[in-house]
Structure 1
Amino acid sequence: MLMDGFHVAANTAGNQYQRYKAILAQERLPVAFVDLEVMQRNVDALAKRAAGLPIRLVTKSVRCLSILRRYYGKGPFLSGLMCYSPAEAAWLAEEGFDDLLVAYPSAETADLAGVIRQLRLGRNIVLMVDSPVQVDHLDRMARESAAVFRVAIDLDMSSDLPGLHFGVRRSPLTTPSDVLALARRIDGCTGVRLMGLMGYEGQIAGLMDDVPGQGLRNLILRRLKAWSGPQVNARRDDSVHMLKKAGIHLRFVNGGGSGSFESTRTDPSVTELAAGSALYAPALFDHYRNFKLEPAAGFAVRIARQPKRDVFTCSGGGYPASGPSGLNRAPIPWLPEGSRLIPDEGAGEVQTPVVYDGPEELRIGDPVLFRHAKAGELCERFNELLLIENGQVVERAKTYRGQGHCFL
């Protein structure tokens, strides 16, 4: 049934734990898994939030070919992939994917050479630039190889207040004039062709603003987002208009992330959105005011010892996420509901103690389910994802790591 726009399972949290416990009963733990039915509901919610704009699927947040293939080109609202490395884009092209946008600049000549090989085969790969130095490097490589690189310009979308930088430090291009100057530099090159513009408002997309027990922080973040959103949207829109006025036309304008659809889609210049984390719904996406997701991915570790009545020590589990160090980067115990880490120990590489004093009768050998703080980074710890559907494992899908790839 549905309640307040969210799926409400007929099972209780306890039954949910028992369901996953039964599904994973014969598996060697630790193991990572994705619940396909839950993930599909998250994808459906993304489509509704996009309000008609196409969505470019972010590979960094997925890192599994089977799942990328499940959604790539399967719906009118899913269009192309956003990659995080030229080498990754070249590999995905070899695997049959096309319409690939690399969201981060790279100076790795060998990786760029791999892109050239795919361009010669007719694949559509667009690289990201934000500096004349990058443009000149690409131009030299292209001319030496009798090729033409397609590029997009990365516009900085952070906001500044006295004493506060609200956003991520990505691009040095902070004004429409900066964008125009780089576009003219590109226009003067024979080996580089401008295709698009990207403006990622990480301060809106990547910060939770409805965290329980953090009322003042939530209020401040909401006000900062409300102030920053229109400002950066105008910066992106003005950049596009300035390029048009100069006779420079773009094939696409990309914006947003899983957490900023409601803001980004109000920018009339944006032709496509980007999302990936919303598929798996990691812990860092639990508390947004404008939308809610269902946890679709997790990992299970097995209880190996019980030092106290309410402490269950699991084998493995120490899988922290990147970013500023802190508790919100640690994996969180998920099921059985009410499990929690011990702050002085946290999640360890070889063992993770969990405090639990609930209705489930946990024993040595039982699983404890965790959720990773981020989405695709979970795949860097496991060779495969167990894909679950209709109460059973329907596929053992290799991750990038399982296929022998580590791009950064």
Structure 2
Amino acid sequence: MLQQRDRLWHRLNGAVAAHPEPLPTPLMVVDLDAFDANAGALAQRAGGVPIRVASKSLRVPDLIRRALARPGFAGVLGFTVAEALWLEEQGVSDDIVVAYPSVDRAALTRLVSSPSAASRITLMVDDEAHLDVVDSVRSSTAVPVRVALDVDAGLRWAGQHVGPKRSPLAAVDDVLALARQVVDRPGFRLVGVMTYEGQVAGVPDDVPGQRARSAVVRRLKRLSLAQLTDRRAAVAAALGELTELEFWNAGGSGSVAESGADPVVTEVAAGSGLLVPGLFDHYRSFTPRPAAFFGVPVTRRPREGIVTVHGGGLVASGAAGRDRLPLPWAPAGLALTSLEGAGEVQTPLTGAAAAMLGIGDLVWFRHAKAGELFEHATRAHLLAADRLVGEATTYRGHGHAF
């Protein structure tokens, strides 16, 4: 692995050096060879179940298009209504499911005013109040709104709820009650269900130095999948008496095989598994290839064994901790310091590799999360083999902050 990282360092630096113009930093690069390999591996793991591309984990329209052009991928899982509207207008996809409930009245007003957008975008709900918000922005129900139910997929174990704190819908009766409200309410169509088992899809389970914890995580995953299989079947049977659904979405990059194996599930979601950020290391079931990097230059050598790079502090969301910090990746043999971590304007790095780095040399990092990296840039440079072959504009580059 260390030799691979050093080879990557030379490959990235060679591509930057061969570029006809100097490139500003932080320099975002996506390795298309790794991206395509990861896409193929995801499709293989999904076993023929279609993969809906999670746009939140990419945030670069050209990369979303690239994934959708691959065999086994169909549709987008968006994160805001405004984003979904823009992707539909740009022709990126004509099948977009918004993964989270929305109370964005401005965006919802645009949705209910557009028969085309309303026919291609599905809203997520888990409360009658979400339907009320939609009705509050329209004067007519002539344009039907597509709706999916977000059903809790957490593990109930030893009196605890293990998993994302998302939907209040857990019991079959509660799911069925809201489903009836959607079906009976003019101007809405119930077309799908989502059950996102984040405690399975998004938690590493083979972490070096954490043998006992990883064993517990694997056990919780097994329990969760078994419990969720029964819960999905019960919910699906109840909903089947009420209406016919178009889709049942589940899973994430870390669980496409396991989630797709459930006979109730008709599609799985994935996005992070295409770029492979730091938080997606150390899964026992798969070993993808990191595909997204950002490079920053060495600007100081404070003393022997330490170099300081300009910037680097691109920290991920979530519970604050070291796992949210970017990883100094290439060359291998660098580490953040415990007192300064990753800074907004400078980041000191220690380790054996520091001795070989000079002023102006690039150090390449991996972000802890996938799409969040591209909130910090207007474009991503595309690497194929050992050359930068083009650029892709990010959401931010298009003038959007969804």
Range of TM-score over shorter length: over 0.9
Q: CA-to-partner distance for each residue in 1:42-84, whole Å, 9 max, x for gaps?
A: 0110011000100000000000011112122x23411100000
Q: Which SS does the other structure have where 1:32 is aligned?
A: strand
Q: Normalising by structure 1, what TM-score? A: 0.94
Asked if 2 retains the 8 angstrom alpha-carbon contact of 1:139 and 1:190, the reply is no
For 2:70 and 2:301, the matched residues in 1 are separated by 48
For 2:127 and 2:80, the matched residues in 1 are separated by 17
Higher alpha-carbon deviation: 318-327 or 16-25: 16-25
The aligned runs of 1:1-400 (5 Å cut-off) are 12-25=4-17, 26-72=22-68, 74-96=69-91, 97-120=93-116, 123-144=119-140, 146-162=142-158, 164-244=160-240, 246-358=241-353, 361-400=356-395
Seen in structure 2, the aligned counterparts of structure 1 residues 315 and 331 have a Cα distance that, compared at 3 Å, is same
Q: CA-to-partner distance for each residue in 1:347-400, whole Å, 9 max, x for gaps?
A: 000000111313972101000000000000001111110111121111111100
Shift of 1:164: 3.2
Higher alpha-carbon deviation: 340-349 or 230-239: 230-239
Asked if 2 retains the 8 angstrom alpha-carbon contact of 1:156 and 1:199, the reply is yes
For 1:309 and 1:99, the matched residues in 2 are separated by 55
For 1:64 and 1:322, the matched residues in 2 are separated by 19
For 1:193 and 1:394, the matched residues in 2 are separated by 44
Asked if 2 retains the 8 angstrom alpha-carbon contact of 1:142 and 1:192, the reply is no
The one-letter code sitting in structure 1 at the alignment partner of 2:345 is V
Shift of 1:123: 4.5
Asked if 2 retains the 8 angstrom alpha-carbon contact of 1:89 and 1:115, the reply is no
Asked if 2 retains the 8 angstrom alpha-carbon contact of 1:139 and 1:149, the reply is no
Asked if 2 retains the 8 angstrom alpha-carbon contact of 1:126 and 1:150, the reply is yes
> Any unmatched runs of 5+ in structure 1?
1-7
For 2:396 and 2:135, the matched residues in 1 are separated by 32
Shift of 1:145: 6.1
Shift of 1:265: 1.7
Asked if 2 retains the 8 angstrom alpha-carbon contact of 1:384 and 1:397, the reply is yes
Asked if 1 retains the 8 angstrom alpha-carbon contact of 2:305 and 2:354, the reply is no
For 2:187 and 2:312, the matched residues in 1 are separated by 48
For 1:118 and 1:279, the matched residues in 2 are separated by 32
For 2:198 and 2:164, the matched residues in 1 are separated by 6
Asked if 1 retains the 8 angstrom alpha-carbon contact of 2:302 and 2:308, the reply is yes
RMSD: 1.7
Q: Which SS does the other structure have where 2:356 is aligned?
A: coil
Shift of 1:141: 3.5
Shift of 1:163: 5.4
Higher alpha-carbon deviation: 233-242 or 310-319: 233-242
For 1:299 and 1:121, the matched residues in 2 are separated by 35
For 1:17 and 1:137, the matched residues in 2 are separated by 51
The one-letter code sitting in structure 1 at the alignment partner of 2:11 is R
Asked if 2 retains the 8 angstrom alpha-carbon contact of 1:209 and 1:221, the reply is yes
For 2:376 and 2:112, the matched residues in 1 are separated by 31
Q: CA-to-partner distance for each residue in 1:256-301, whole Å, 9 max, x for gaps?
A: 0001123212211100010000000000001101111111001000
Seen in structure 2, the aligned counterparts of structure 1 residues 155 and 360 have a Cα distance that, compared at 3 Å, is same
The one-letter code sitting in structure 2 at the alignment partner of 1:125 is I
Shift of 1:12: 4.4
Q: Which SS does the other structure have where 2:353 is aligned?
A: coil
The one-letter code sitting in structure 2 at the alignment partner of 1:155 is V
Q: Which SS does the other structure have where 1:274 is aligned?
A: strand
Shift of 1:122: 6.7
Q: Normalising by structure 2, what TM-score? A: 0.95
For 2:226 and 2:117, the matched residues in 1 are separated by 41
For 2:262 and 2:353, the matched residues in 1 are separated by 48
> Any unmatched runs of 5+ in structure 2?
none
Q: Which SS does the other structure have where 1:304 is aligned?
A: strand
Shift of 1:118: 3.8
For 2:355 and 2:12, the matched residues in 1 are separated by 14
For 2:157 and 2:252, the matched residues in 1 are separated by 23
Higher alpha-carbon deviation: 312-321 or 356-365: 356-365
